[in-house]
Amino acid sequence: MPAMHEVDYKIFGDDMQFVEVELDPGEAAVAEAGGMFYMEDGISMETVFGDGSAAQRSFVDALIGAGKRLLVGESLFMTIFMNTAHAKKRVSFAAPYPGKIVPIRLADVGGELIAQKDSFLAAAKGVSIGIAFQKRIGVGFFGGEGFIMERLDGDGWAFVHAGGMLIERTLAPGEVLRVDTGCLVALQPSIDYDIEYVGRIKSALFGGEGLFFATLRGPGRIWLQSLPLSRMARRIVAAAPPLGHRREEGSVLGTIGDILSGDR
């Protein structure tokens, strides 16, 4: 296993957060393409083919890593931010939508973490970002994330983004928690992850919670989010007026708005 870079970090903000990573000379961080917020002079940026881990020693390794990322639905490329100066330098990465950034030291969770495919933000260089296939067909079809999730391997820091509020739970052996399928952010591989049908047609059709729950059985740690991006997107689409129509049409406010905008 390649040596992990021991980076320091600070998380700023409340609902719209970003993480600032402090790099010693020669240290590096890896992130999804387009995730960088700002970086100080002395940080070099290199886009690489594959998962960006030091484990890739040949073009074939890089090609395999890129293929895994393509299956997850992510970009074929990762970006490495290396401190090439002779003093400490900082680079930061911003969350893509309101929520919380979760710092997870992989050494503290057994060196491996299974994460929702859109939740990974950045990591210390040396953390490998691969894929994890779901073994149960029900999870693949109805689990909200398909057959494939991201697998983070290593012993360094990884930064994961959760939408809305974040909750971390440790499930005892045999303890079961049922959650909305989109609310799962990450879990340890020791967690048994399955899908459960709601069971009642009336609840399924009119309860507003969907047809399936995610069933998580311990032992292990899980991270949940209160506002999945898919749920927020559905609410925005539902609230938006039809194309070419104003929501206030037929009202006094609509008439005034039309006059001010020059439509009348």
User: pLDDT (tens digit, 9 = 90+) per residue, 26-64?
Assistant: 999 998 777 899 999 999 998 876 555 544 444 444 444
Specify the pTM.
0.74
86-113: average pLDDT:
93
Of residues 95 and 235, more confidence is placed in 95
Residue 75 has pLDDT above 90, yes or no: no
pLDDT in the model for residue 84:
95
Mean pLDDT of 83-91: 95
Q: Does the pLDDT value for residue 205 go beyond 50?
A: yes
Q: How confident is the model at residue 87 (pLDDT cuts 50, 70, 90)?
A: very high
Poorest-confidence range of 60-74, 128-142, 177-191?
60-74
Q: What is the CA radius of gyration of the chain?
A: 22
Residue of 108, 112, 78 whose CA lies nearest to 1: 112
Q: Which CATH class is domain 8-241?
A: alpha beta
Scan for tokens 């970002």, then name that residue. Answer: 129
Question: Mean pLDDT across the chain, nearest whole number?
Answer: 76
pLDDT band at 66 (very low <50, low <70, confident <90, very high): very low
Q: Are 108 and 76 in contact (CB under 8 A)?
A: no
Identify the residue with better confidence: 205 or 174: 174
Residue 15 confidence (pLDDT)? 83
Q: Which residues pair with 43 in a beta bridge?
A: 83
Cα–Cα nearest to 116, from 234, 215, 224: 224
Ordered by start, the domain boundaries in the chain are 8-241
- Low-confidence winner among 106-115, 160-169, 250-259 (lowest mean pLDDT): 250-259
Distance CA 37, CA 194 (A): 36
* Cis-peptide into 189, omega within 30 deg: no
* pLDDT, average across residues 134-160: 67
Indicate if the pLDDT at residue 137 is higher than 80.
no
Q: What pLDDT is attached to residue 50?
A: 56
Residue 37, both tokens: 């917020």
